[in-house]
Structure formats: C-alpha cells, structure tokens
Structure 1
Amino acid sequence: MKKFSFQLESVMNFKNQRLENKKAEHANIIAMVNQQNVKIDSLLGKFKGVNFEFNQKKMAGISIIEAMEYSGFLYKLEVEIQREKRHLEVLQKREEEKRAEVVEVKIETSTLEKLKEKKLEQYNKEVQKSEELFIEEFVSRNL
C-alpha cells in the first residue's frame, strides 16, 4: 500500500508558520508592555523621591522660587506619568488583540492537526485490513 500523505499538509505548514509568527509578535508586545511598566515604575519612584525631598525642605524652610521649581518639576513628572500610562493602555490593548489572533490561529492549526490524525487513523485501519486480507488469502492458498 502507498505511504500516507495528508492532502492539506502544505496548508497545515502555512498555518503553523503563521502561528509561530503571531506568537513572536505577541511576545514582542508583551516585552513592550513590561518595558512600559518598568518605565512607569521608575517615574513613580522618581516622583516619590522628589516629593519626599520637597516635603523635607518645606519643613526645614525653603525659598518661594525653590518651592515653585519643585512644584513645577513634580507637575511635569505627573504629566509624564499620565502620558506613559496612556501609552501603556494602548500597548495592553494591542497585546490583547495579538493574544486573540494567536488563539484564533491556534484553533485553525489544531483543527487541521485533528483532521490529519483522523485521516492517519483511517489510513492505518485500511492498511491493517488489507494486511489481514492478504494473510487470510495466503493461509487459504496454502491449505
């Protein structure tokens, strides 16, 4: 009997390659989200440090000009933190979309893999049946 060949093998290979590409894209976006979280944490740490320093100086006595500089810098940090948080939200939305794409392509590939398994099982049953018929025929001739 001829060797098993799955007619949709090229389609399955294409889907598997597409799945790997989507997984790589998803991993890149996850890395970007993590990097953005680190950036925000860094800015928050900087804000807390400067704010603590400002409060200490206020208690010790500070000039109005220096207080205005601290206030302006803290405001600038707040604005930057909010901008980076909005950017994080955009990245998180992209990550969710990529995850959905990965799931969709994974479903497509698993469907093809299940179909291939069924076809292989059917092929193996046919091979076994033909071998049994051959053995029966061989035995009946030799009797």
Structure 2
Amino acid sequence: MKKFQFSLDHVRDYRDRLLDEETGKLQRLQAERDRLEQQINQLKTDFAQVSEEMRKAQAEGITALELRGFSMQLESIRMQVRELTEQLEAAKARVEQQTRVVVAANQEVSKLDKLRDRQYEDWQAGVRKAEEERIEELVSQSHIRKTAG
C-alpha cells in the first residue's frame, strides 16, 4: 500500500507559518508593553527620589528658585508618567487583540492536526485490512494447494 499522505499538508504548513508570525508579533508587543511598564516604574522611582531630595532641601532651607526647580522636575515626571500610562494602555489593548489572533491561529493548526490524525488512523485501518485480506488470500491459496495436491 502507498505511503500515508495528508491531503492538507500544505494548508497545515501555511497555517503553522502564520501562527509563528502571529506569535512573533505577540512577543514583540509584549516586549513593548514590558518596556513601557519598566519606564513607568523607573519614573516613579525617580519621582520618589526627587521628592525626597526636595524634602531634605526644604528641611535645610532652600530658595524659592530651587523649590521651583524641584517642582518643575516633579511635574515633568508626572507628565511623562501620564503619557507613558496612556501608551501602556494602548499597548495592553494591542497585546490582548494579538493574543486573540494567536489563539485563533493555534486553533486552526490544532484542527488540521486532529484531521490529519483521523486520516492517519483511517489509513492505518486500511493498511491493516489490506494486510488481513492478503493473509487470507495466502491461507486460502495454501489450503487450495494442499487439497489439490
């Protein structure tokens, strides 16, 4: 009997390549989201440090100009955090959307894998049946030779 050939191998390979591409996109989007989260965390750390420096300077006595400088630094950090937070929310939405795309692509590949497995099982059953028929043919030919001979 001929070798097993899954009729949709090309489709399955194509879907698998698409899944790999979509997974790569998801990983890049997750990396961007993580980068934004790290930047926000760093800015929050910077904010705490500048706030502490300002508190210490105020305790020691500072000029209004120095106080204004600290305030401007803090406001700048707040603005950056707000801007990055908006970018982070958009990045999270893109990650969520891409996750849905990857799940759908994975389901398509899984469906084709299950179909391939079913076709392979059917093929194996056909091979077994053909082998049984061949054995029966040999047995009956042997039996005919013994009775004729």
**Fold shared per TM-score above 0.5:** yes
Uncovered stretches (5+) of structure 1, i.e. residues with no partner? none
Distance (whole Å) between structure 1 residues aligned to residue 118 and residue 128 of structure 2? 15
2:42 match = 42
Equivalenced residue count is 143
Distance (whole Å) between structure 1 residues aligned to residue 9 and residue 72 of structure 2? 64
Deviation at 1:95, TM superposition (A): 0.6
Q: How does 1:1-143 map to 2 (within 5 A)?
A: 1-143=1-143
Uncovered stretches (5+) of structure 2, i.e. residues with no partner? 144-149
Q: Which whole-Å deviations, capped at 9, do the CAs of 1:68-122 have from their partners, x for residues lacking one?
A: 1111111111011110111111111111111110000000110010000000000
Structure of greater Rg: 2
TM-score if structure 1 supplies the norm length?
0.97
116-125 or 52-61: bigger deviation: 52-61
Give the 3-state SS of the residue equivalent to 1:62 in structure 2: coil
Distance (whole Å) between structure 2 residues aligned to residue 134 and residue 77 of structure 1? 82
Distance (whole Å) between structure 1 residues aligned to residue 73 and residue 4 of structure 2? 71
Distance (whole Å) between structure 1 residues aligned to residue 59 and residue 126 of structure 2? 89
Distance (whole Å) between structure 1 residues aligned to residue 119 and residue 7 of structure 2? 10
Q: Which whole-Å deviations, capped at 9, do the CAs of 1:51-72 have from their partners, x for residues lacking one?
A: 1000111111111111111111
Deviation at 1:3, TM superposition (A): 1.3
Distance (whole Å) between structure 1 residues aligned to residue 124 and residue 80 of structure 2? 64
TM-score if structure 2 supplies the norm length?
0.94
Q: Which whole-Å deviations, capped at 9, do the CAs of 1:11-41 have from their partners, x for residues lacking one?
A: 0000000001111111111111111111111
Query: What residue identity is the alignment partner of 2:71?
Result: S
Query: What residue identity is the alignment partner of 2:82?
Result: Q
Query: What residue identity is the alignment partner of 2:105?
Result: V
